[in-house]
Amino acid sequence: MSVYLWKPLTPLLDSYVHKVALVVLNQSLETQTKLFKTLWKKAAFKIFVDGGANQVYSSFDPTSYIPDLITGDFDSIKPNVRDFYKQQVERIVVLGALGGRLDHQFSNINTLYKMKSSKSDAHLQIYLISQTSLVFLLPEGKKNMIEINTGFEDEMCGLIPVGSLCEHVTTSGLKYNLHDQSMEFGQLISTSNSYDGSKEPVCVEASKPLLWTMEIKY
């Protein structure tokens, strides 16, 4: 008969070098402070389940304990706790969203529009990335400044009006700039554009959301 060896307390040892996944449920941590901190240091992936976020938020400095994931039906997490942890995530990078089936790519782009329309997620920057391209949605009514001096930028870029007419578009920093021009499918779209060589941020102002796409080298 084969033997399956369990070592349930070894993660608490200072000498333990393997990683664990830590799941925090909605139970008080007041008497488990030392245990929580020890397991947090050992954890490769940290999950708060619903009201478990309340417990960490109220027991510790919450800025020091940001989970990788908060999950559950969100019936017990306090609104201010939920909003706090949401604000700790500045950007989401989605790998594998470009290439492959075209309908899947359009579905991923549609998700960018859905997230933009959600007030609670409007602060998030969401990027779709592949080995050769990076895509994100520029919101309307803002002065969008796009940094292009990391060294990972390749030559080409573009602005795509997906879904509706964008009546007013003005740009700077591009080889072919737009000056209060309209864009829509069947008329003007900006593909195979490039940069003006200054390395200054590209500025885009538009009356409707526009998809920014850029060639990258990595």
Q: Which residue has the higher pLDDT, 98 or 19?
A: 98
Q: 58-76 pLDDT, tens per residue? A: 999 999 999 999 988 888 9
Has residue 11 got a pLDDT over 90?
no
Domain that holds residue 151: 91-216
Residue 76's CB is within 10 A of a number of other CB atoms, namely 14
Check whether residue 104 and residue 179 sit in a common domain.
Answer: yes
Question: Does residue 5 fall inside a structural domain?
Answer: no
Write down the pLDDT at residue 1: 66
* pLDDT on residue 99: 85
| Together in a domain, 146 and 44 | no
Indicate the pTM of the whole model: 0.74
Surface-to-core class of residue 107, CB atoms within 10 Å of its CB (0-12 exposed, 13-18 middle, 19+ buried): exposed
218, HSE (Cβ side, Cα atoms, 13 Å): 10
The pLDDT value given to residue 5: 73
With contact defined as beta carbons under 8 Å apart, do 169 and 183 qualify? yes
Which of 35, 68, 87 is the C-terminal boundary of a domain?
Answer: 87
Can you give the pLDDT at residue 66?
94
Q: Where are the alpha helices (DSSP H) in the chain?
A: 33-42, 52-59, 79-87, 102-117
Statement: residue 117 has pLDDT above 80: no
Same structural domain for residues 53 and 67?
Answer: yes
C-alpha 207/C-alpha 81 separation (Å) is: 34
- Res. 204: pLDDT tops 90: yes
Does position 118 have pLDDT exceeding 80, yes or no? no
Give the count of domains, the chain: 2
Over residues 131-151, the mean pLDDT reads: 91
161: CATH: 3.40.50.10240
DSSP letter at 210?
A: E
